[in-house]
Amino acid sequence: MPPSGRHDNGSLPPPSIPPSLPAVRLRAAPRTSAGARPALSPPLPSAERGLGAHPRRARAAVAAMRRGERRGPGGALGKAALEEQPDGPGPRRSTESEVYDDGTNTFFWRAHTLTVLFILTCALGYVTLLEETPQDTAYNTKRGIVASILVFLCFGVTQAKDGPFSRPHPAYWRFWLCVSVVYELFLIFILFQTVQDGRQFMKYIDPNLGVPLPERDYGGNCLIYDPGNETDPFHNIWDKLDGFVPAHFFGWYLKTLMIRDWWMCMIISVMFEFLEYSLEHQLPNFSECWWDHWIMDVILCNGLGIYCGMKTLSWLSLKTYKWQGLWNIPTYKGKMKRIVFQFTPYSWVKFEWKPASSLRRWLAVCGIIFVFLLAELNTFYLKFVLWMPPEHYLVLLRLVFFVNVGGVAMREIYDFMDDPKFHKKLGQQAWLVAAITATEFLIVVKYDPYTLTLSLPFYITQCWILGIILVLTWTAWRFFIRDITLRYKEIRRQKQEHKYEKDKCLSNGDGHSSILDEQNGNKLRERKL
């Protein structure tokens, strides 16, 4: 459907412009297209400075644009609104990809609020009026709760606030947002039960749950080459190569796509092995052989996952983001490609965490790593306290859930950190992921305070204290002492230059020392920033 087909507000498109442009270039060069009429805006002399001088405005515009695209206000206008943002020639952030979009807004993209409402009402009417209600109260209660959750999902998928992602479809991300709400409420409910009741409550979800886990023997023989076993001396290695190896690899591949930073990934990956070492006296399944920790986990599985993730990231940041409506593509092959590309991002933002650039960012990055590791630990502790076998489908579902919401949350946190003035609110998904991680941790603390307070072995305590002291020292040096030193040096240099200038002025008789003064002030300000 060409964009021109939607000009039904009575006013014809400006005659000088062809009614359907194949691809309107968004952000990069605001052009007049059929759907976009840039309106009168006083051409200020200062407007040309907009190129790089107002990063906040630019981001605001980009965000508004992205929002505009996703909220899809309908037809060509939706896209038109994007171009109406007076962005000037360079509106996007430096880390963000350029996007071309022909502004197709077909059936696929519309909200269907009324359709969903109608179908929902019909379905409810059919199930509750035409089918006979069973007389079993427990069954009806369960059914009522499931129906409530489904109606909530219906509402949320249709109407919830959109997040930063819009591919393959905004509704997909709204769905996961609603799932997070349901999961968080479920956790809150569990949190308020007694330990006994909470574990038995899991029986309502799966009748096989609610029984204590069998004690399992971990660790054991750590020889890489076991001469005692003559048929296969490497049997210890083959034993470890189970389904968790691809799971580790794939998990870290996805985590790299979330975090988008090599260093942070590596730190989290290594930190987690340290945590396993530290907590193996609490949870026996953290105990692994040294080569399992460092060679198989960190280097092979995680390392390879991170490497592949980084390769994908660089491909994503280099590829062109050119979106054409499916019906505007002439060839069959092109159409197929377009369908596949629907599952790639709409645009791309490189994450530059820059933890050392300011105290605020440093604390934020530390906080992210902390919450990330806490969420990873929760996976194991939650299984343990709620008596879930590791291979249970709920454990897997929780991971699938986290993979889906984690990416959104990380992007929202990045936006919030990157531009706290515009993204005044921490994104909803990030908020929920933080709340979920906290609630999961509270459940673990409440359900098994004994295991959690088993004291750390002495050498591990020492290591942690050493680590914490190192981090604190670095923080103090980087953001306090170094700053003071720099400022002191700057002032001294400035004074010297001032003196020199004065001498020069006295000898030359011209008075531009004040300008230099200002320059020095600016330099100082820049260094402080």
Query: Residue 321 belongs to what H/E stretch?
Result: strand 321-323
Query: Contact between 66 and a second copy (CB under 8 A)?
Result: no
How many beta carbons lie within 10 A of that of residue 359, not counting itself?
Answer: 13
CB of 282: closest distance to a second copy in angstroms?
A: 18
Query: Contact between 326 and a second copy (CB under 8 A)?
Result: no
Beta bridge partners of residue 349, listed in sequence order: 96
Beta bridge partners of residue 323, listed in sequence order: 101
Residue 193 has phi, psi (to 5 degrees) of: -90, 165
Query: Residue 150 belongs to what H/E stretch?
Result: helix 137-159
Q: For a second copy, which is the closer residue by CB, 159 or 473?
A: 159
Q: For a second copy, which is the closer residue by CB, 187 or 316?
A: 187
**Candidate list 20, 70, 75, 253; residue touching a second copy; CB under 8 A:** 75
Query: Contact between 470 and a second copy (CB under 8 A)?
Result: no
Query: Contact between 6 and a second copy (CB under 8 A)?
Result: yes
Find the farthest-apart pair of alpha carbons in the chain and give their distance in angstroms, rounded: 105
Record the tokens describing residue 43, joined without a space.
Answer: 């051409």
Scan residues 144-163 and list those touching a second copy (CB under 8 A). Answer: 144-145, 147-148, 151-152, 155, 158-161
CB of 13: closest distance to a second copy in angstroms?
A: 10
> Does residue 168 have a cis peptide bond before it, meaning omega lies within 30 degrees of 0?
yes
Helix (H, G, I), strand (E, B) or coil at 349: strand
Scan residues 432-451 and list those touching a second copy (CB under 8 A). Answer: 432, 434-435, 438-439, 442, 445-446
**Candidate list 3, 20, 21, 30; residue touching a second copy; CB under 8 A:** 30
CB of 177: closest distance to a second copy in angstroms?
A: 10
Residue ranges in 319-457 assigned as alpha helix (H): 332-341, 359-385, 393-418, 428-447, 449-452
Binding mask 173-192 for a second copy (x = CB under 8 A): --------x--xxx-xxxxx
Query: Contact between 219 and a second copy (CB under 8 A)?
Result: no
Scan residues 285-314 and list those touching a second copy (CB under 8 A). Answer: none
Stretch that binds a second copy, among 77-85, 231-239, 246-254, 473-481 (CB under 8 A): 77-85
Q: CA-to-CA distance for 288 and 403, rounded, in angstroms?
A: 25
> Tokens 């950190």 sit at which residue?
417
Q: For a second copy, which is the closer residue by CB, 90 or 233?
A: 90
**Candidate list 18, 106, 110, 356; residue touching a second copy; CB under 8 A:** 110
Q: For a second copy, which is the closer residue by CB, 129 or 340?
A: 129
Residue 101 has phi, psi (to 5 degrees) of: -145, 130
Query: Contact between 117 and a second copy (CB under 8 A)?
Result: yes
Record the tokens describing residue 511, joined without a space.
Answer: 């008075």
Q: For a second copy, which is the closer residue by CB, 333 or 525?
A: 525
| Contact partners, residue 53, CB within 8 Å, separation at least 6 | none
Write the DSSP symbol of residue 243: T
| Contact partners, residue 331, CB within 8 Å, separation at least 6 | none
CB of 154: closest distance to a second copy in angstroms?
A: 9
**Candidate list 95, 193, 278, 285; residue touching a second copy; CB under 8 A:** 193
Q: For a second copy, which is the closer residue by CB, 38 or 334?
A: 38
Q: For a second copy, which is the closer residue by CB, 80 or 257?
A: 80
Query: Contact between 453 and a second copy (CB under 8 A)?
Result: no
Cα–Cα distances (Å) from 256 to 98, 260, 300, 431, in that order, read 22, 5, 15, 21
Q: What letters, b where the CB count within 10 A reaches 16 and e where it falls short, cover 245-273?
A: eeebbebbbbbbbbbbbeebbebbbebbb
Q: For a second copy, which is the closer residue by CB, 77 or 408?
A: 77
Stretch that binds a second copy, among 302-310, 313-321, 430-438, 455-463 (CB under 8 A): 430-438
Stretch that binds a second copy, among 29-37, 96-104, 233-241, 502-510 (CB under 8 A): 29-37
